[in-house]
Chain A
Protein backbone atom coordinates (compact mmCIF):
# COMPACT_ATOMS: atom_id res chain seq x y z
CA UNK A 1 0.00 0.00 0.00
CA UNK A 2 3.02 2.27 0.00
CA UNK A 3 2.72 3.15 -3.66
CA UNK A 4 -0.59 4.32 -5.07
CA UNK A 5 -1.96 2.12 -7.81
CA UNK A 6 -0.15 -1.00 -6.63
CA UNK A 7 -2.25 -2.09 -3.69
CA UNK A 8 -0.07 -4.92 -2.38
CA UNK A 9 2.93 -4.68 -0.08
CA UNK A 10 6.22 -5.84 -1.50
CA UNK A 11 6.81 -9.56 -1.31
CA UNK A 12 9.99 -11.28 -0.10
CA UNK A 13 12.45 -11.86 -2.93
CA UNK A 14 11.97 -15.61 -3.15
CA UNK A 15 8.34 -15.28 -4.15
CA UNK A 16 8.72 -12.02 -5.99
CA UNK A 17 8.52 -12.48 -9.72
CA UNK A 18 5.60 -14.86 -10.26
CA UNK A 19 3.53 -13.21 -7.53
CA UNK A 20 4.01 -9.71 -8.82
CA UNK A 21 3.24 -10.84 -12.34
CA UNK A 22 0.01 -12.44 -11.18
CA UNK A 23 -0.99 -9.32 -9.24
CA UNK A 24 -0.44 -7.08 -12.22
CA UNK A 25 -2.23 -9.54 -14.49
CA UNK A 26 -5.18 -9.71 -12.13
CA UNK A 27 -5.46 -5.94 -12.27
CA UNK A 28 -4.81 -5.47 -15.97
CA UNK A 29 -7.25 -8.03 -17.33
CA UNK A 30 -10.40 -6.50 -15.93
CA UNK A 31 -11.65 -3.02 -16.75
CA UNK A 32 -13.58 -2.73 -13.46
CA UNK A 33 -10.47 -3.85 -11.65
CA UNK A 34 -8.38 -1.24 -13.37
CA UNK A 35 -10.99 1.37 -12.48
CA UNK A 36 -11.01 0.30 -8.84
CA UNK A 37 -7.20 0.22 -8.66
CA UNK A 38 -6.90 3.68 -10.22
CA UNK A 39 -9.59 5.08 -7.90
CA UNK A 40 -7.81 3.60 -4.90
CA UNK A 41 -4.54 5.13 -6.08
CA UNK A 42 -6.17 8.54 -6.44
CA UNK A 43 -7.72 8.36 -2.96
CA UNK A 44 -4.40 7.36 -1.37
CA UNK A 45 -2.67 10.19 -3.22
CA UNK A 46 -5.30 12.71 -2.08
CA UNK A 47 -4.86 11.54 1.51
CA UNK A 48 -1.07 11.84 1.28
CA UNK A 49 -1.21 15.30 -0.27
CA UNK A 50 -4.04 16.62 1.93
CA UNK A 51 -1.96 19.29 3.72
CA UNK A 52 -0.82 20.71 0.38
CA UNK A 53 -4.05 20.64 -1.59
CA UNK A 54 -6.72 21.27 1.04
CA UNK A 55 -8.06 24.84 0.78
CA UNK A 56 -8.20 25.12 4.58
CA UNK A 57 -6.59 23.45 7.59
CA UNK A 58 -9.64 21.99 9.36
CA UNK A 59 -7.72 21.50 12.63
CA UNK A 60 -6.71 25.14 12.80
CA UNK A 61 -9.57 26.80 14.63
CA UNK A 62 -8.31 30.25 13.69
CA UNK A 63 -8.93 29.60 10.01
CA UNK A 64 -12.57 28.64 10.62
CA UNK A 65 -15.26 31.23 10.37
CA UNK A 66 -18.37 30.54 12.44
CA UNK A 67 -20.32 32.89 10.19
CA UNK A 68 -19.82 30.37 7.41
CA UNK A 69 -21.43 27.44 9.21
CA UNK A 70 -23.73 24.97 7.45
CA UNK A 71 -23.50 26.60 4.04
CA UNK A 72 -24.78 24.52 1.11
CA UNK A 73 -22.38 23.23 -1.58
CA UNK A 74 -21.09 25.91 -3.91
CA UNK A 75 -21.71 28.76 -1.47
CA UNK A 76 -19.27 31.67 -1.37
CA UNK A 77 -17.18 32.14 1.78
CA UNK A 78 -16.92 35.41 3.70
CA UNK A 79 -13.36 35.61 2.43
CA UNK A 80 -14.40 35.19 -1.21
CA UNK A 81 -13.43 31.53 -1.75
CA UNK A 82 -16.02 28.92 -2.72
CA UNK A 83 -17.09 26.00 -0.52
CA UNK A 84 -17.61 23.42 -3.26
CA UNK A 85 -19.06 20.81 -0.91
CA UNK A 86 -20.49 23.22 1.67
CA UNK A 87 -19.49 23.66 5.31
CA UNK A 88 -20.30 21.86 8.54
CA UNK A 89 -21.69 23.14 11.85
CA UNK A 90 -18.32 24.68 12.82
CA UNK A 91 -17.99 26.45 9.50
CA UNK A 92 -15.38 23.94 8.31
CA UNK A 93 -14.89 23.54 4.58
CA UNK A 94 -16.13 20.02 3.75
CA UNK A 95 -13.52 19.47 1.01
CA UNK A 96 -10.71 20.03 3.51
CA UNK A 97 -12.43 18.04 6.23
CA UNK A 98 -12.87 15.09 3.87
CA UNK A 99 -9.25 15.17 2.69
CA UNK A 100 -7.99 15.14 6.27
CA UNK A 101 -10.61 12.57 7.28
CA UNK A 102 -9.41 10.32 4.47
CA UNK A 103 -5.91 10.58 5.96
CA UNK A 104 -7.11 9.55 9.42
CA UNK A 105 -9.22 6.69 8.09
CA UNK A 106 -6.39 5.31 5.94
CA UNK A 107 -3.86 5.72 8.74
CA UNK A 108 -6.02 3.76 11.18
CA UNK A 109 -6.79 1.11 8.55
CA UNK A 110 -3.17 0.57 7.55
CA UNK A 111 -1.61 0.66 11.02
CA UNK A 112 -4.20 -1.64 12.56
CA UNK A 113 -4.02 -4.13 9.70
CA UNK A 114 -0.21 -4.02 9.87
CA UNK A 115 -0.24 -4.64 13.62
CA UNK A 116 -2.81 -7.40 13.40
CA UNK A 117 -0.85 -9.07 10.58
CA UNK A 118 2.38 -8.94 12.54
CA UNK A 119 0.82 -10.60 15.58
CA UNK A 120 -1.27 -13.04 13.55
CA UNK A 121 1.64 -14.14 11.35
CA UNK A 122 3.89 -14.64 14.38
CA UNK A 123 1.26 -16.62 16.27
CA UNK A 124 0.35 -18.72 13.23
CA UNK A 125 3.98 -19.45 12.41
CA UNK A 126 4.76 -20.56 15.97
CA UNK A 127 1.61 -22.68 16.13
CA UNK A 128 2.51 -24.46 12.90
CA UNK A 129 6.20 -24.91 13.71
CA UNK A 130 6.02 -25.95 17.35
CA UNK A 131 2.70 -27.84 17.28
CA UNK A 132 1.47 -29.79 20.27
CA UNK A 133 0.24 -27.89 23.30
CA UNK A 134 1.38 -24.48 22.01
CA UNK A 135 -0.54 -25.01 18.79
CA UNK A 136 -3.63 -26.18 20.68
CA UNK A 137 -3.49 -23.20 23.04
CA UNK A 138 -3.04 -20.62 20.28
CA UNK A 139 -5.79 -22.11 18.16
CA UNK A 140 -8.24 -22.29 21.09
CA UNK A 141 -7.64 -18.58 21.69
CA UNK A 142 -8.16 -17.94 17.97
CA UNK A 143 -11.43 -19.90 17.92
CA UNK A 144 -12.55 -18.05 21.00
CA UNK A 145 -11.80 -14.64 19.44
CA UNK A 146 -13.45 -15.49 16.14
CA UNK A 147 -16.58 -16.66 17.96
CA UNK A 148 -17.62 -13.09 18.69
CA UNK A 149 -18.49 -10.35 16.20
CA UNK A 150 -15.60 -7.90 15.95
CA UNK A 151 -17.81 -4.83 16.28
CA UNK A 152 -19.05 -5.94 19.68
CA UNK A 153 -15.62 -6.82 21.07
CA UNK A 154 -14.11 -3.55 19.85
CA UNK A 155 -17.07 -1.57 21.16
CA UNK A 156 -16.88 -3.01 24.65
CA UNK A 157 -13.08 -2.72 24.68
CA UNK A 158 -13.20 0.97 23.72
CA UNK A 159 -16.01 1.56 26.18
CA UNK A 160 -13.61 0.67 28.97
CA UNK A 161 -10.45 2.44 27.70
CA UNK A 162 -11.97 5.57 26.13
CA UNK A 163 -11.57 7.10 22.69
CA UNK A 164 -8.36 7.94 20.84
CA UNK A 165 -6.62 7.06 17.57
CA UNK A 166 -4.09 4.78 19.28
CA UNK A 167 -6.86 3.03 21.23
CA UNK A 168 -8.96 2.44 18.11
CA UNK A 169 -5.93 0.95 16.37
CA UNK A 170 -5.29 -1.33 19.34
CA UNK A 171 -8.93 -2.43 19.50
CA UNK A 172 -8.93 -3.30 15.79
CA UNK A 173 -5.68 -5.24 16.21
CA UNK A 174 -7.25 -7.21 19.07
CA UNK A 175 -10.25 -8.22 16.96
CA UNK A 176 -8.37 -8.87 13.70
CA UNK A 177 -5.17 -10.76 14.56
CA UNK A 178 -6.92 -14.10 15.05
CA UNK A 179 -8.03 -14.48 11.44
CA UNK A 180 -4.44 -13.95 10.25
CA UNK A 181 -3.15 -16.47 12.78
CA UNK A 182 -5.57 -19.09 11.47
CA UNK A 183 -4.73 -18.40 7.83
CA UNK A 184 -0.97 -18.30 8.48
CA UNK A 185 -1.03 -21.55 10.43
CA UNK A 186 -2.99 -23.32 7.70
CA UNK A 187 -0.64 -22.25 4.94
CA UNK A 188 2.50 -22.86 7.03
CA UNK A 189 1.30 -26.39 7.84
CA UNK A 190 0.92 -27.14 4.13
CA UNK A 191 4.38 -25.72 3.45
CA UNK A 192 6.00 -27.68 6.27
CA UNK A 193 5.09 -30.99 4.64
CA UNK A 194 7.11 -30.12 1.56
CA UNK A 195 10.48 -31.70 0.80
CA UNK A 196 12.63 -28.59 0.97
CA UNK A 197 11.70 -28.03 4.60
CA UNK A 198 12.42 -31.69 5.33
CA UNK A 199 15.78 -31.26 3.59
CA UNK A 200 16.53 -28.16 5.64
CA UNK A 201 15.67 -30.01 8.85
CA UNK A 202 17.88 -32.99 7.91
CA UNK A 203 20.60 -30.57 6.94
CA UNK A 204 20.71 -29.57 10.60
CA UNK A 205 19.72 -25.94 10.07
CA UNK A 206 18.58 -24.24 13.28
CA UNK A 207 14.81 -24.10 13.76
CA UNK A 208 14.88 -20.32 13.91
CA UNK A 209 16.55 -20.17 10.51
CA UNK A 210 14.05 -22.60 8.99
CA UNK A 211 11.13 -20.58 10.33
CA UNK A 212 12.36 -17.17 9.26
CA UNK A 213 14.20 -17.94 6.02
CA UNK A 214 12.11 -20.76 4.60
CA UNK A 215 8.71 -21.20 6.20
CA UNK A 216 7.82 -17.52 6.61
CA UNK A 217 8.53 -16.25 3.07
CA UNK A 218 6.88 -19.26 1.44
CA UNK A 219 3.67 -19.25 3.43
CA UNK A 220 3.06 -15.56 4.06
CA UNK A 221 1.62 -14.92 0.58
CA UNK A 222 -1.91 -16.02 1.47
CA UNK A 223 -1.99 -13.59 4.38
CA UNK A 224 -0.70 -10.70 2.29
CA UNK A 225 -3.32 -11.34 -0.36
CA UNK A 226 -6.25 -11.03 2.06
CA UNK A 227 -4.69 -7.96 3.68
CA UNK A 228 -6.28 -5.60 1.13
CA UNK A 229 -9.76 -6.71 2.13
CA UNK A 230 -8.74 -6.50 5.77
CA UNK A 231 -7.70 -2.86 5.37
CA UNK A 232 -11.20 -2.21 4.05
CA UNK A 233 -12.83 -3.98 6.97
CA UNK A 234 -10.55 -2.18 9.44
CA UNK A 235 -11.59 1.16 7.92
CA UNK A 236 -15.26 0.13 8.08
CA UNK A 237 -14.86 -0.92 11.69
CA UNK A 238 -13.15 2.34 12.61
CA UNK A 239 -15.85 4.36 10.86
CA UNK A 240 -18.58 2.42 12.66
CA UNK A 241 -16.91 2.83 16.05
CA UNK A 242 -16.45 6.55 15.43
CA UNK A 243 -20.07 6.80 14.35
CA UNK A 244 -21.13 5.15 17.61
CA UNK A 245 -19.03 7.68 19.50
CA UNK A 246 -16.24 5.46 20.85
CA UNK A 247 -13.72 5.85 18.01
CA UNK A 248 -11.35 8.66 17.06
CA UNK A 249 -11.38 11.90 19.08
CA UNK A 250 -13.35 14.92 17.83
CA UNK A 251 -10.11 16.86 17.35
CA UNK A 252 -8.96 14.54 14.57
CA UNK A 253 -12.10 13.40 12.77
CA UNK A 254 -12.03 10.40 10.44
CA UNK A 255 -14.59 10.00 7.68
CA UNK A 256 -16.80 8.03 10.07
CA UNK A 257 -16.83 10.81 12.64
CA UNK A 258 -17.56 13.44 9.97
CA UNK A 259 -20.58 11.36 8.94
CA UNK A 260 -21.68 11.05 12.56
CA UNK A 261 -21.36 14.83 13.01
CA UNK A 262 -23.57 15.40 10.00
CA UNK A 263 -26.22 12.89 11.03
CA UNK A 264 -28.31 15.28 13.12
CA UNK A 265 -28.39 17.83 10.29
CA UNK A 266 -29.35 15.13 7.80
CA UNK A 267 -32.83 14.98 9.29
CA UNK A 268 -33.36 18.69 8.64
CA UNK A 269 -32.32 18.28 5.03
CA UNK A 270 -28.75 19.60 5.29
CA UNK A 271 -27.54 16.46 3.61
CA UNK A 272 -24.04 17.55 2.51
CA UNK A 273 -22.45 17.45 5.97
CA UNK A 274 -22.94 13.68 6.19
CA UNK A 275 -23.34 12.62 2.58
CA UNK A 276 -20.07 13.83 1.04
CA UNK A 277 -17.78 12.25 3.66
CA UNK A 278 -19.96 9.17 3.27
CA UNK A 279 -19.37 9.05 -0.46
CA UNK A 280 -15.62 9.35 0.12
CA UNK A 281 -15.77 6.50 2.65
CA UNK A 282 -17.83 4.31 0.33
CA UNK A 283 -15.49 4.91 -2.61
CA UNK A 284 -12.50 4.01 -0.43
CA UNK A 285 -14.05 0.83 0.94
CA UNK A 286 -15.58 -0.35 -2.34
CA UNK A 287 -12.35 0.19 -4.29
CA UNK A 288 -10.35 -1.68 -1.64
CA UNK A 289 -12.88 -4.51 -1.65
CA UNK A 290 -12.96 -4.81 -5.43
CA UNK A 291 -9.17 -4.91 -5.67
CA UNK A 292 -8.93 -7.25 -2.69
CA UNK A 293 -11.66 -9.62 -3.85
CA UNK A 294 -10.06 -9.90 -7.27
CA UNK A 295 -6.61 -10.55 -5.81
CA UNK A 296 -8.00 -13.15 -3.46
CA UNK A 297 -9.78 -14.98 -6.24
CA UNK A 298 -6.80 -14.90 -8.59
CA UNK A 299 -4.69 -16.52 -5.86
CA UNK A 300 -7.50 -18.83 -4.83
CA UNK A 301 -7.19 -17.99 -1.14
CA UNK A 302 -10.29 -18.74 0.83
CA UNK A 303 -11.20 -16.08 3.33
CA UNK A 304 -11.05 -17.60 6.77
CA UNK A 305 -14.13 -15.86 8.09
Chain B
Protein backbone atom coordinates (compact mmCIF):
# COMPACT_ATOMS: atom_id res chain seq x y z
CA UNK B 1 0.00 0.00 0.00
CA UNK B 2 1.31 3.50 -0.85
CA UNK B 3 2.45 5.62 2.04
CA UNK B 4 0.64 8.92 2.35
CA UNK B 5 3.51 11.09 1.22
CA UNK B 6 3.67 11.20 -2.58
CA UNK B 7 1.27 11.25 -5.49
CA UNK B 8 -0.49 8.07 -6.62
CA UNK B 9 -2.03 9.68 -9.70
CA UNK B 10 -0.88 12.46 -11.98
CA UNK B 11 -3.00 14.12 -14.69
CA UNK B 12 -0.88 15.68 -17.39
CA UNK B 13 -3.00 17.92 -19.62
CA UNK B 14 -5.52 15.09 -19.74
CA UNK B 15 -8.34 15.34 -22.29
CA UNK B 16 -10.82 12.49 -22.54
CA UNK B 17 -13.82 12.11 -24.80
CA UNK B 18 -15.91 10.06 -27.17
CA UNK B 19 -15.88 10.17 -30.97
CA UNK B 20 -13.62 13.24 -31.04
CA UNK B 21 -15.92 15.14 -28.66
CA UNK B 22 -14.06 15.88 -25.44
CA UNK B 23 -15.86 15.23 -22.16
CA UNK B 24 -13.01 16.26 -19.83
CA UNK B 25 -10.65 19.03 -20.91
CA UNK B 26 -7.00 19.57 -20.04
CA UNK B 27 -6.97 18.25 -16.51
CA UNK B 28 -3.72 18.79 -14.64
CA UNK B 29 -2.49 18.02 -11.17
CA UNK B 30 -1.89 15.18 -8.77
CA UNK B 31 -3.81 13.04 -6.30
CA UNK B 32 -1.77 12.38 -3.15
CA UNK B 33 -1.72 8.79 -1.89
CA UNK B 34 -4.11 8.37 1.01
CA UNK B 35 -6.52 11.07 -0.23
CA UNK B 36 -10.27 10.82 0.18
CA UNK B 37 -11.44 12.77 -2.84
CA UNK B 38 -14.97 13.41 -4.06
CA UNK B 39 -15.59 14.23 -7.73
CA UNK B 40 -18.77 16.27 -8.19
CA UNK B 41 -20.40 18.21 -10.97
CA UNK B 42 -23.56 18.40 -13.07
CA UNK B 43 -24.72 15.53 -15.27
CA UNK B 44 -22.47 15.25 -18.29
CA UNK B 45 -19.61 17.00 -16.47
CA UNK B 46 -17.21 14.17 -17.28
CA UNK B 47 -16.99 12.58 -13.82
CA UNK B 48 -17.49 8.96 -14.92
CA UNK B 49 -15.38 9.64 -18.00
CA UNK B 50 -12.50 10.68 -15.73
CA UNK B 51 -12.70 7.36 -13.83
CA UNK B 52 -12.77 5.43 -17.12
CA UNK B 53 -9.67 7.35 -18.16
CA UNK B 54 -7.89 6.45 -14.91
CA UNK B 55 -8.59 2.71 -15.28
CA UNK B 56 -7.60 2.84 -18.95
CA UNK B 57 -11.00 1.98 -20.44
CA UNK B 58 -10.82 5.24 -22.35
CA UNK B 59 -7.64 6.31 -24.11
CA UNK B 60 -6.78 9.99 -23.67
CA UNK B 61 -7.40 12.20 -26.70
CA UNK B 62 -4.58 14.33 -25.39
CA UNK B 63 -2.23 14.24 -22.42
CA UNK B 64 -2.02 11.28 -20.09
CA UNK B 65 -2.83 9.74 -16.73
CA UNK B 66 0.20 8.54 -14.83
CA UNK B 67 -0.27 5.82 -12.23
CA UNK B 68 2.48 5.91 -9.65
CA UNK B 69 3.36 2.66 -7.90
CA UNK B 70 0.49 0.53 -9.16
CA UNK B 71 -0.74 -1.30 -12.26
CA UNK B 72 -4.09 -0.57 -13.90
CA UNK B 73 -5.24 -4.16 -13.23
CA UNK B 74 -4.83 -3.53 -9.50
CA UNK B 75 -7.18 -0.56 -9.31
CA UNK B 76 -10.40 -1.40 -7.46
CA UNK B 77 -13.15 0.14 -9.60
CA UNK B 78 -16.87 0.14 -8.84
CA UNK B 79 -18.71 1.06 -12.04
CA UNK B 80 -21.89 3.11 -11.96
CA UNK B 81 -23.93 0.27 -13.41
CA UNK B 82 -22.97 -3.25 -12.50
CA UNK B 83 -21.86 -5.22 -15.54
CA UNK B 84 -22.58 -8.44 -13.64
CA UNK B 85 -25.18 -10.82 -15.07
CA UNK B 86 -27.27 -11.30 -11.91
CA UNK B 87 -29.03 -14.31 -13.41
CA UNK B 88 -25.72 -16.20 -13.38
CA UNK B 89 -25.92 -19.07 -10.85
CA UNK B 90 -23.24 -17.97 -8.42
CA UNK B 91 -23.60 -17.47 -4.66
CA UNK B 92 -22.45 -14.44 -2.65
CA UNK B 93 -19.39 -16.27 -1.26
CA UNK B 94 -18.04 -17.12 -4.72
CA UNK B 95 -18.87 -13.67 -6.08
CA UNK B 96 -17.02 -11.90 -3.26
CA UNK B 97 -14.11 -14.36 -3.51
CA UNK B 98 -13.40 -13.03 -7.01
CA UNK B 99 -11.95 -9.99 -5.23
CA UNK B 100 -8.88 -12.09 -4.39
CA UNK B 101 -7.98 -12.36 -8.08
CA UNK B 102 -4.88 -10.15 -7.75
CA UNK B 103 -3.43 -12.49 -5.10
CA UNK B 104 -4.62 -15.88 -6.34
CA UNK B 105 -5.19 -15.32 -10.07
CA UNK B 106 -7.31 -17.61 -12.17
CA UNK B 107 -5.85 -20.94 -11.18
CA UNK B 108 -4.59 -21.06 -7.55
CA UNK B 109 -6.85 -22.52 -4.88
CA UNK B 110 -7.81 -20.52 -1.79
CA UNK B 111 -6.00 -21.39 1.44
CA UNK B 112 -7.50 -21.18 4.92
CA UNK B 113 -6.37 -17.57 5.44
CA UNK B 114 -8.00 -16.54 2.15
CA UNK B 115 -11.26 -18.22 3.11
CA UNK B 116 -11.21 -16.36 6.42
CA UNK B 117 -10.65 -13.06 4.59
CA UNK B 118 -13.62 -13.77 2.33
CA UNK B 119 -15.84 -14.44 5.36
CA UNK B 120 -14.59 -11.29 7.09
CA UNK B 121 -15.27 -9.17 3.99
CA UNK B 122 -18.81 -10.56 3.79
CA UNK B 123 -19.27 -9.87 7.51
CA UNK B 124 -17.94 -6.32 7.16
CA UNK B 125 -20.73 -5.42 4.73
CA UNK B 126 -23.40 -7.04 6.90
CA UNK B 127 -24.12 -10.07 4.72
CA UNK B 128 -23.03 -12.80 7.17
CA UNK B 129 -25.35 -15.78 6.98
CA UNK B 130 -26.17 -15.12 3.34
CA UNK B 131 -22.95 -16.61 1.94
CA UNK B 132 -24.80 -19.32 0.03
CA UNK B 133 -27.53 -17.14 -1.37
CA UNK B 134 -27.50 -16.78 -5.19
CA UNK B 135 -26.75 -13.23 -6.30
CA UNK B 136 -29.95 -13.23 -8.36
CA UNK B 137 -31.96 -13.31 -5.13
CA UNK B 138 -30.37 -10.19 -3.63
CA UNK B 139 -31.97 -6.77 -3.30
CA UNK B 140 -30.25 -3.78 -4.89
CA UNK B 141 -28.75 -2.75 -1.55
CA UNK B 142 -27.52 -6.28 -0.77
CA UNK B 143 -25.92 -6.57 -4.19
CA UNK B 144 -24.16 -3.24 -3.66
CA UNK B 145 -22.91 -4.52 -0.28
CA UNK B 146 -21.58 -7.65 -2.00
CA UNK B 147 -19.81 -5.49 -4.61
CA UNK B 148 -18.22 -3.50 -1.79
CA UNK B 149 -17.08 -6.74 -0.12
CA UNK B 150 -15.41 -7.77 -3.39
CA UNK B 151 -13.72 -4.35 -3.56
CA UNK B 152 -12.46 -4.80 0.00
CA UNK B 153 -10.74 -8.05 -0.95
CA UNK B 154 -9.09 -6.46 -3.97
CA UNK B 155 -6.90 -4.74 -1.40
CA UNK B 156 -5.98 -2.04 -3.90
CA UNK B 157 -4.13 1.15 -2.93
CA UNK B 158 -6.52 3.06 -5.23
CA UNK B 159 -10.31 2.66 -5.05
CA UNK B 160 -12.58 4.36 -7.60
CA UNK B 161 -16.30 4.52 -6.84
CA UNK B 162 -18.70 5.76 -9.52
CA UNK B 163 -21.96 6.89 -7.89
CA UNK B 164 -21.85 4.07 -5.33
CA UNK B 165 -24.98 5.12 -3.45
CA UNK B 166 -27.50 5.48 -6.27
CA UNK B 167 -30.89 3.92 -5.48
CA UNK B 168 -29.94 2.42 -2.10
CA UNK B 169 -31.42 3.18 1.32
CA UNK B 170 -30.03 5.41 4.08
CA UNK B 171 -28.84 2.54 6.29
CA UNK B 172 -26.91 0.94 3.46
CA UNK B 173 -25.33 4.29 2.58
CA UNK B 174 -24.32 4.76 6.22
CA UNK B 175 -22.73 1.27 6.43
CA UNK B 176 -20.91 1.54 3.12
CA UNK B 177 -19.67 5.06 3.89
CA UNK B 178 -18.16 3.70 7.12
CA UNK B 179 -16.42 1.02 5.06
CA UNK B 180 -15.00 3.70 2.73
CA UNK B 181 -13.71 5.65 5.74
CA UNK B 182 -12.10 2.41 6.97
CA UNK B 183 -10.32 1.90 3.62
CA UNK B 184 -9.02 5.45 3.78
CA UNK B 185 -7.85 5.01 7.37
CA UNK B 186 -5.85 1.98 6.16
CA UNK B 187 -4.04 4.36 3.80
CA UNK B 188 -5.95 3.61 0.59
CA UNK B 189 -6.71 6.43 -1.81
CA UNK B 190 -10.43 6.69 -2.54
CA UNK B 191 -11.92 8.75 -5.37
CA UNK B 192 -15.73 8.80 -5.44
CA UNK B 193 -18.09 10.31 -7.98
CA UNK B 194 -21.03 11.64 -5.96
CA UNK B 195 -24.10 13.82 -6.32
CA UNK B 196 -25.11 14.30 -2.69
CA UNK B 197 -23.28 17.49 -1.62
CA UNK B 198 -24.31 17.01 2.02
CA UNK B 199 -22.72 13.56 2.05
CA UNK B 200 -19.59 14.97 0.40
CA UNK B 201 -19.34 17.75 3.00
CA UNK B 202 -19.62 15.19 5.83
CA UNK B 203 -17.37 12.45 4.50
CA UNK B 204 -14.87 13.88 2.00
CA UNK B 205 -12.18 16.40 3.03
CA UNK B 206 -11.22 17.10 -0.59
CA UNK B 207 -13.34 17.67 -3.68
CA UNK B 208 -12.81 18.13 -7.40
CA UNK B 209 -15.62 20.09 -9.04
CA UNK B 210 -15.86 19.23 -12.73
CA UNK B 211 -17.86 20.75 -15.55
CA UNK B 212 -16.04 19.16 -18.48
CA UNK B 213 -13.04 21.00 -17.10
CA UNK B 214 -11.78 21.61 -13.62
CA UNK B 215 -13.85 24.33 -11.96
CA UNK B 216 -12.28 24.05 -8.52
CA UNK B 217 -10.26 21.62 -6.46
CA UNK B 218 -9.17 21.58 -2.86
CA UNK B 219 -10.83 21.59 0.54
CA UNK B 220 -14.47 20.53 0.19
CA UNK B 221 -15.88 23.51 2.11
CA UNK B 222 -14.17 25.93 -0.25
CA UNK B 223 -14.82 24.01 -3.45
CA UNK B 224 -18.55 23.60 -2.83
CA UNK B 225 -19.19 27.34 -2.57
CA UNK B 226 -22.25 28.87 -4.23
CA UNK B 227 -20.04 30.75 -6.70
CA UNK B 228 -18.23 27.59 -7.82
CA UNK B 229 -21.42 25.56 -8.12
CA UNK B 230 -23.07 28.34 -10.12
CA UNK B 231 -20.03 28.55 -12.41
CA UNK B 232 -20.07 24.75 -12.88
CA UNK B 233 -23.74 24.80 -13.86
CA UNK B 234 -23.15 27.67 -16.24
CA UNK B 235 -20.14 25.97 -17.84
CA UNK B 236 -21.96 22.64 -18.24
CA UNK B 237 -24.94 24.34 -19.90
CA UNK B 238 -22.72 26.43 -22.18
CA UNK B 239 -20.62 23.46 -23.20
CA UNK B 240 -23.69 21.27 -23.55
CA UNK B 241 -25.05 23.71 -26.14
CA UNK B 242 -21.71 23.61 -27.96
CA UNK B 243 -21.31 19.84 -27.68
CA UNK B 244 -21.37 19.52 -31.46
CA UNK B 245 -18.07 21.39 -31.63
CA UNK B 246 -14.96 19.59 -32.72
CA UNK B 247 -12.06 18.95 -30.36
CA UNK B 248 -10.88 22.10 -28.64
CA UNK B 249 -7.49 23.65 -29.18
CA UNK B 250 -5.06 22.84 -26.40
CA UNK B 251 -3.09 26.06 -26.78
CA UNK B 252 -6.06 28.40 -26.53
CA UNK B 253 -7.89 26.43 -23.82
CA UNK B 254 -5.49 26.26 -20.99
CA UNK B 255 -6.97 25.78 -17.54
CA UNK B 256 -5.13 27.09 -14.55
CA UNK B 257 -3.25 24.49 -12.60
CA UNK B 258 -4.67 24.19 -9.13
CA UNK B 259 -2.60 23.49 -6.14
CA UNK B 260 -3.64 20.22 -4.58
CA UNK B 261 -5.04 20.95 -1.14
Decide whether A and B are members of one complex. no
Interface residues of B (CB under 8 A from A): none
Q: Which residues of A contact B (CB under 8 A)?
A: none
